[in-house]
Amino acid sequence: MKRLLALILSIVTVLSLAACGSKTQNNTQTGAQTGAQTGTQVTDPQPTNPGPDSTATEPKLDYPKYAITINGSTTGSTVDINARSFAKVLAKYVPVNVVVNSTSGQVDSFRSTMNAAPDGYTLCWSTVNVTISDVKGKTDFDSVNASTFIACTVKGGGHWLCCKSDFAKKNNINSFSDLIAYTKAHPQELVVSTSAGMVTDVACKQFISAGMDAYPVSIEDAGKRVVALLGGDIDLYIGGYAAIKQYIETGEVMCLCYLGHERSPFSPDIPCTTELGYDLNDAASIYNLSCPKDTPKEIVAYLEEATRKTVEDPEYVEALLNNSSVAYFAGSEETYKIMSEYKQLMIDAGFGG
Amino acid sequence: MEKKLKKAKSDMWTGVLSALFACLYFAETFRFILDHSVPISAAVFPRIIAGLVFLCAAAIFFRGLRVYRTIPETARHEAKANAAGSSRNLFHVLEAFLILLGVAVAMRPLGFIVTMTIAMFLMFVLLEKPQKRKYGLYAIFSLTLPTAVFFLFYYCFSYLLPTGVLRLLLARIL
Amino acid sequence: MSAFQYFGHALATIFTTPQYLFFMLLFTALGILLGALPGINVNLSLILVLPLTYAMQTESAMVVLLSCYIGALSGGLISAVALNIPGTSSSIATCFDGHPLAKQGKAGQAVGVGILTSFVGGSLSYALLLLLAPMMAKVALKFGYWEYFAVSFFSITMIIGIAGDDVFRGVLGAALGMAIAMTGSDPVMMVNRYNFGFHALDGGVTLTALMCGIFAVPELLKLAETRDDPDVEVTKLEKFRGFGISAKDYLSRWKNILRSTVIGTYTGILPGIGASSASLLSYMTAKNSSKHPETFGTGDIDGIIASETANNACMGGAMIPMLALGVPGSSAAAILMSALSLHNVQPGPLVFANSANLIYFIFAICFVVNFFMLVLERGVLTGYLKALTAPPRIVMVIVMLMCVCGAYSSRSSFLDLYVFAIFGTLGFFLQKGGIPAGPIILGYILSSLCELNFVRAYAISRGNVMAVFHRPIAAVFMVVAILSLANSVRKTIKADKARKAAETDLASNG
């Protein structure tokens, strides 16, 4: 029994040492102080949400009192990384910690959040992939109306179409048009990566509708698609720029085009499909933050404001740029409109299951 | 001989139950909503696995049956008589399982601290012989450990375990 | 600056910055503690610690995460030996020989050897990492989907080797594990399987909840079952010195050590294979190469050496595709990579050119933390083992608490608690029926790898299954796997015939 008590005390001691006092139990810490500590920090209460000692005349919002949890996605995925970047910066604008939970996927996150208490402490970070799953009939909820959108935080990213440089050189492929011509002469010979049920699949179908006669194979992760391209398992890569950027810079990979109406700021030298004469929909990824349906309007407004400040924060903007994404803010109502239109677009484009 | 009989019976039961599982597992594959545009459907691997389970089940069952048939009648009756006491032991197993299931059911409404306090206390009591129980010690462990873990997870790792009925109280403390 | 100059500079920075040394000490200890707790595996340890690094500089964040990672990876062996509950999935193979030694009172020696060999495997792997990282990354590119399928198929056939006396039951266990893995969306086309209309099951059954259930719950239920039986005297923990093995004895097993390091490192380089496969492959290779393979599974030190050397070497290997290709070699490496991304460091082919200081700093952290792990884990070992060998009826309830935490925390899902309870109880009855836990978990892990890679490879080859034999690496693995399978079946039939003959003789003489 003594040994057991000793073990318990040791556990408590060691874990107490690891509690670096990073939690903000009060609102008096400043930004300078937070830099010296570990953990996500939050500093002064915001003017729009006065603390208990404030003399402001607006009715006091008794929120937030403890850590806010954001349901992200699978650990290590792009969505998860974006969620953590967001949480890190959001924590500057709310007086509590913001924690990201890993889940088994975006649909799972959305469902968990939908079923959580509508108290503003459980939020969901998701992308249009949830909407696509909804349209395909793979969810038991309506992705647009089952929750309340707080804000849209990222729009863009986009998809690039790339191939290996030696392949392009060997077959005299210098542009998207050359590729289309090649695939017409060799139908279904080339293998192109897609990602079933995700926005990348939408992008792949767009390229195919332009005349690219390639055989799609689903590979869920951009990093794995890059390895598959370099290893020769696939011939064409469709995906984000961040994963393939360095290989383009070394010359190992050649980028043929960007799916969009105008050139991406991340690759100004790469032509977009519209300027090449192909009228395709850009398969932009839209990240949004949502909460359970019956969350009080005041809490939604508070979170919307905090999100706006986060999206405007240079630290967050820089983090997104490093992942080849662009910060974009849209409020609650506008995000609802964007997501509704996106869902309708997917249905009209025939993605329904 | 008793050991041999026990193994033979175990083999037969394992075989029967596994074969039944394999059949149900295989049958369920026909309810998948498959995407027929892909070269290899999502039902292929589950069917292969069902087949593998069935083959192993059959091999185990027939092995057990073969051994069972070599055991004399008298030995089988003797072993049956000796097996009477085991039902009480399985009752304790059932109780333990119910506690674990109770944890799963109660975690959302009651929260981590309340659920684990009750579960730990019940499990301590269940696992010890009645004459050796130390209720006081169990109460101390059951009250302190879940609470300590809850707060350690929150303050060290910023991870909030389910709060349940204590939500409002914890909101004031955290 | 050359690689060695960068490395030297990094070491100097570490030893002249007290903050780094303090973080290494603290977080290695924390990692060991978390890894040793059943229910909290390496991935969960990293996820729990990750938010602490947000406000830190990149270097400090790397120190914290790598210290926790190396500590947790090695800490898993303590509960694997003492409780027969692997702290991490990569310690499953350690249970096979570690726990039998613990039952003989030699838990200290078993863990001591595990700590020492973890250190050696890790160090050798980090040395390879330092010298050859960019070159070794090219190896990962030579492995396509057929190669991955062949390796995972080969690993599945290896499970037969750990099935124990009863091969059929072992294979049945592995098949049941594979069956459980099929729950949820299929890995390629997202078709829902075995969710019975419950969308909560779309994400499938998580490894943490399943492992906690299959290993920990049967131990708990066994105690419940034997509650009214007379108390069994617990074997006393034997005293041991150092790491429980002499230097001469340890070095005499150099072949096993080197081979396990190579298997671990090589497996780590291949994204997606994982440390659990590495330790299993290494264990089976050691068993097949041993002069006394029958001693494996009864407390053979070589089994522990093979498993623990490989799983720590795998960590070094997994860093290679992560840093040089930007593709994580394991799920823990994925967490490390997300931490790097959060600090605006982009791994990939240019990382050695653009961020050489940081990369060699990471290598230096690995070396130094490995040493901290060796000292700290040995330091707390005696006390920890004494605590774990306290009355099991108290210890197991506390283990239950940690397993519930771990099962829930892995993806914040209440469903995982049901998985823990139901599959755990199922595991109890399966073990009563002679089906061990190890093959079930290994079948679960390998099955999704096998299916995912086969389906992709099949699609890319347009349905030509024989394409696997057109690729040299894949062909070798497939041929070896098929021969190994045929050999196991032959041995089983032979053993069965011999048993029948012995029974017939006994009956006729009887």
Model confidence at C485: pLDDT above 70: yes
Find, among A223, A199, A129, B42, the residue nearest to C189 by Cα: B42
Residue C112, pLDDT > 70, answer: yes
Contact B171 A23 (CB under 8 A): no
Claim to verify: residue A104 and residue A172 sit in the same structural domain: no
Q: Which domain holds residue A168?
A: 160-258
What percentage of chain B reaches a pLDDT higher than 70? 94
pLDDT higher than 50, residue C281: yes
Indicate the residue of C141, C185, C328 with minimum beta-carbon distance to A230.
C141
Instruction: Tell me the pLDDT band of A22, cut-offs 50, 70 and 90.
Output: very low
Q: What is residue A12's predicted lDDT score, i.e. its pLDDT?
A: 46
Instruction: Classify residue A191: in a domain, yes or no.
Output: yes
Per-residue confidence at A198, pLDDT binned at 50, 70, 90?
confident
Whether B154 sits inside 8 A of A12 (CB atoms) is: no
- pLDDT tens, residue by residue, C216-253: 999 999 999 988 887 766 667 777 788 888 889 999 99
3-state helix, strand, coil in chain B (%, to 5): 85, 0, 15
Cβ separation of B42 and C458 shorter than 8 Å? no
Of A258, A276, A292, the residue at which a domain comes to its end is: A258
Query: Do A136 and C446 form a contact (C-beta atoms < 8 A)?
Result: no
Mean pLDDT of all residues in A48-75: 66
Q: Is 0.80 topped by the overall pTM?
A: yes
Interface test with chain B among A13, A25, A63, A66, by most B beta carbons within 10 Å: A66
Give the list of residues 6+ apart from residue A83 with CB closer than 8 angstroms, or none: A70, A72, A73, A100, A125
**Per-residue pLDDT for B121 more than 90?**
yes
Residue C105 burial (CB count, 10 A): 16
Residues A253 and A314 in one domain: no
Nearest CA in chain C to B32: C193
Q: Note which residues in 401-440 of chain C have CB less than 8 A from chain B.
A: 401-402, 404-405, 408-409, 414, 417-418, 420-422, 424-425, 428, 432-435
Q: Is the pLDDT of residue A14 over 50?
A: no
Q: What does the alpha-carbon distance between residue A27 and residue C61 come to, in Å, rounded to a whole number? A: 25
Same structural domain for residues A198 and A226?
A: yes
Distance from the A67 Cα atom to the nearest Cα atom in chain B, whole angstroms: 7
For residue B39, which residues of chain C lie inside 8 Å, CB to CB? 458-459, 462-463
Contact criterion met (CB below 8 Å) for C39 and C79:
no
- Res. A47 pLDDT band, cuts 50 70 90: very low
Residue pLDDT, tens place only, B81-102 = 666 555 557 889 999 999 999 9
Distance CA A298, CA A300 (A): 5
> How many CB atoms lie under 10 A from the CB of residue A264?
20
Query: Tokens 């032979």 map to which residue?
Result: C494
Which residues in chain A are contacts of C456 at CB distance < 8 A?
217-219, 233
Q: Let me know: does B124 contact C394? Beta carbons within 8 Å.
A: yes
Q: Which of C341, C350, C455 to mutate to test the interface with A (most CBs of A within 10 A)?
A: C341
Q: Which residue has the higher pLDDT, A61 or A135?
A: A135
Chains in contact with A, where contact means 3 or more Cβ–Cβ distances below 8 Å, are B, C
Alpha-carbon distance of B158 to C5, in angstroms, equals 39
The whole-number pLDDT of residue A25 equals: 31
Please state the φ and ψ torsions of residue C105, each to the nearest 5 degrees.
Answer: 85, 10
Q: Which chain B residues in 106-165 lie under 8 Å from chain A, judged by CB atoms?
A: 137, 145, 148, 152, 154-156, 158-160
Is residue A32 included in any domain, yes or no? Answer: no
Burial class, B69, CB count within 10 angstroms (exposed 0-12 / middle 13-18 / buried 19+):
exposed
Compute the distance between CA of residue A202 and CA of residue A199 in angstroms, rounded to an integer. 5
What are the φ and ψ backbone dihedral angles of A161, each rounded to 5 degrees? -110, 120
Chain A contact for B55 (CB, 8 A cutoff): no
The CATH number linked to A323 is: 3.40.190.150
pLDDT band at B47 (very low <50, low <70, confident <90, very high): very high
Q: What ipTM was predicted for this assembly?
A: 0.91
pLDDT bucket at B110, cuts 50 / 70 / 90: very high
Q: Tell me, what amino acid is at A318?
A: E
Per the document, the length of chain C is 510
Residues A152 and A290 in one domain: yes
CATH code of A200's domain: 3.40.190.10
Residue range B129-149: mean pLDDT, rounded = 94
Is A1 in a helix, a strand, or coil?
coil
How close C59 comes to chain A (CA, Å)? 13
Assess contact for A216 and A238: CB atoms under 8 A. Answer: no
Question: Which residues of A, range 105-134, sit inside 8 Å of B by Cβ?
Answer: 117
Last residue of a domain, one of A241, A258, A275: A258
* C328 vs C330: CA distance, rounded Å: 6
Contact status, residue A261 vs residue A312, Cβ threshold 8 Å: no
Q: Do A19 and B155 touch (CB under 8 A)?
A: yes
CB contact under 8 A, C433 and B10: yes
Residue A226 in any domain: the answer is: yes
Cβ of B174 and A97 within 8 Å? no
- pLDDT value of position B85: 53
Cis bond before residue C230 (omega within 30° of 0): no
User: Residue C448: what pLDDT?
Assistant: 83
- Lookup: tokens for C210: 């399943």
Task: Retrieve residue C233's tokens.
Answer: 């005297």
DSSP codes joined into one string, A298-314: HHHHHHHHHHHHHHH-H
Mean residue pLDDT across chain C? 86
Give the residue, B113 or C201, on which the prediction is more confident: B113
Give the percent of chain A with pLDDT over 90. Answer: 42
Q: What is residue C509's predicted lDDT score, i.e. its pLDDT?
A: 66
Secondary structure class of C298 (helix, strand, coil) = coil
From residue A275, alpha-carbon distances to A207, A232, A262, A279, C4 in Å are: 14, 30, 7, 9, 49
Q: What is the mean pLDDT of residues C281-294?
A: 88
Average pLDDT over residues B22-50: 89
Which residue do the tokens 């613990």 mark?
C102
For chain C, positions 39-68, list CB contacts with chain B under 8 A. Answer: 48-49, 51-52
pLDDT at A54: 40
Look up residue A26 and give its two tokens: 């009060």
In a mutational test of the A interface, the residue from C330, C448, C460 whose CB has the highest number of chain A CBs within 10 Å is C460
Contact B64, B8 (CB under 8 A): yes
Predicted pLDDT of residue A33: 30
Chain-chain contact of A224 with C335 (C-beta, under 8 angstroms): no
How many domains are there within chain A?
2
Mean of pLDDT values over C165-178: 87
HEC readout, B71-82: CCHHHHHHHHHH
Residue numbers in C near B29 (CB within 8 A): 193
Question: Which of B10, B120, B128 lies closest to C401 in CB terms?
Answer: B120
Whole-number pLDDT of residue C233: 65
pLDDT tens column, C22-34: 999 999 999 998 8
Q: Is the pLDDT of residue C6 over 50?
A: yes
Would you say residue A21 lies in a domain?
no
Domain end position, chosen among A194, A223, A258: A258
**A116 and A175 fall within a common domain:** no
Distances (CA, A) of C86 to C68, C107, C214, C397: 17, 14, 11, 17
Predicted confidence at residue A296, as pLDDT, reads: 94
Distance from CA of B102 to the nearest CA of C (A): 9
Q: Is residue A118 part of a domain?
A: yes
pLDDT at res. C350: 74
C356/chain B closest Cα distance in angstroms: 31
Query: For residues B7 and A184, which has the higher predicted lDDT (pLDDT)?
Result: A184
How far is it, in rounded angstroms, from Cα B100 to Cα B119? 8
